[in-house]
Structure 1
Amino acid sequence: MGLKPDHWIRKMAREHRMIEPFVDHQVRRGVISYGLSSYGYDIRVADEFKIFTNVFSAVVDPKNFDPKSMVDFKGDVCVIPPNSFALARTVEYFRIPRGVLTLCVGKCLTGDTRVVDAESGAYL
């Protein structure tokens, strides 16, 4: 199975509600782009975040994560403190068919923004 082009993504979104809400074109003016592109879909981050805090000096165990280590935040801008990270949700909801693999890649378009790949620790 190869890459899925825009017409396949558009058809699946319209006929099978694969992406909701679905924007069938790229929106670029005044914002970081989102919507359908030639071989992908640029998603948007919602205004709800969970920000890691180590105020309680908790040991971070991914198999037994302490909910007190996260602070809920709602806002248009999320400032992530040093030695921390934030989790975000998307505006869009996805219903990905079985047999289809998706890939989510962070994008950074301004010099004052740094996004770190959680797997490698590299700046994107």
Structure 2
Amino acid sequence: MGLKSDKWIREMGQKGMIEPFCEKQIGKNVVSYGLSSYGYDIRVGNEFMIFTNIGATLVDPKSFDEKNVIEVDAAESGYCLVPPNSFALARTMEYFRIPRNVLAICLGKSTYARCGIIVNVTPFEPEFEGHITIEISNTTPLPAKIYANEGIAQVLFLEGDEACEVSYKDKKGKYQGQRGITLPKVLK
């Protein structure tokens, strides 16, 4: 068991684990995306939410106020500017269906990391389904350009020795089936 190879990822991608699925790594004149040796490089969509202090309140994960973010559509420009020392949310272009015996871990791409841009995504739990909400931190004192529809992070797939007793789907996880950018929420 363990870390899954390009062969396994391709087979599962063709079965609908990742949609749309890119069977090879695309990297000329873009931040790379698609299938790699032991992972899959995901793309960031063209919808972003940037944290702002204009009309903002308090950042509270239990009671998130939508006034804390502004929506940015990068469809026309092809990029989003994240202000200095700021933070944005985005989503993957890809929709995921994680198998019951698999956990996926996502790590930021080195191209962005070398620019002071940190990508954080929590693990994709067994039987999670949906778009992935991506957290992007600009740690620099300068505006940072994030390219829409290009690579942002790499997903590694880890297969367990056996299927879990309780999956994310079984728990009726609060982000199950999410489409688009999903803001923080807690179950009530």
In terms of fraction of residues, the more strand-rich structure is: 2
TM-score by length of 1: 0.86
Distance in 2 (alpha carbons) for counterparts of 1:70 and 1:57? 8
Distance in 1 (alpha carbons) for counterparts of 2:105 and 2:113? 24
What is the aligned partner in structure 2 of residue 109 from structure 1? 111
What is the aligned partner in structure 1 of residue 36 from structure 2? 37
What is the aligned partner in structure 1 of residue 100 from structure 2? 98
Distance in 2 (alpha carbons) for counterparts of 1:58 and 1:49? 20
RMSD: 2.2
Q: Which amino acid aligns with 1:90?
A: T
Q: Which amino acid aligns with 2:108?
A: G
Distance in 2 (alpha carbons) for counterparts of 1:3 and 1:103? 10
**Deviation larger for 78-87 or 3-12:** 78-87
Deviation string for 1:1-26 (max 9, x for gaps)? Answer: 300111111111112x0001101111
Matched position secondary structure for 1:72? strand
1:38 to partner: Cα distance: 0.8
Structure 1 segments of 4 or more deviating over 6 A?
Answer: none
1:114 to partner: Cα distance: 2.3
Distance in 2 (alpha carbons) for counterparts of 1:118 and 1:35? 19
Q: Which amino acid aligns with 2:84?
A: P
Distance in 2 (alpha carbons) for counterparts of 1:111 and 1:97? 29
Q: Which amino acid aligns with 2:4?
A: K
Matched position secondary structure for 1:103? strand
Q: How has the CA–CA distance of structure 1 residues 20 and 64 changed in structure 2, closer, same or farther, with 3 Å as cutoff?
A: same
Does 2:16 correspond to 1:3?
Answer: no
- Asked if 2 retains the 8 angstrom alpha-carbon contact of 1:108 and 1:115, the reply is no
1:80 to 79, 82, 106: 82
- Asked if 2 retains the 8 angstrom alpha-carbon contact of 1:108 and 1:114, the reply is no
Does 2:21 correspond to 1:22?
Answer: yes
* Gap runs ≥5 in structure 1: none
1:54 to partner: Cα distance: 1.2
TM-score by length of 2: 0.58
- Asked if 1 retains the 8 angstrom alpha-carbon contact of 2:56 and 2:67, the reply is no
Q: Which amino acid aligns with 2:62?
A: K
1:66 to partner: Cα distance: 0.3
Deviation string for 1:70-111 (max 9, x for gaps)? Answer: 111111211112342100111111111112111111124269
1:113 to partner: Cα distance: 3.3
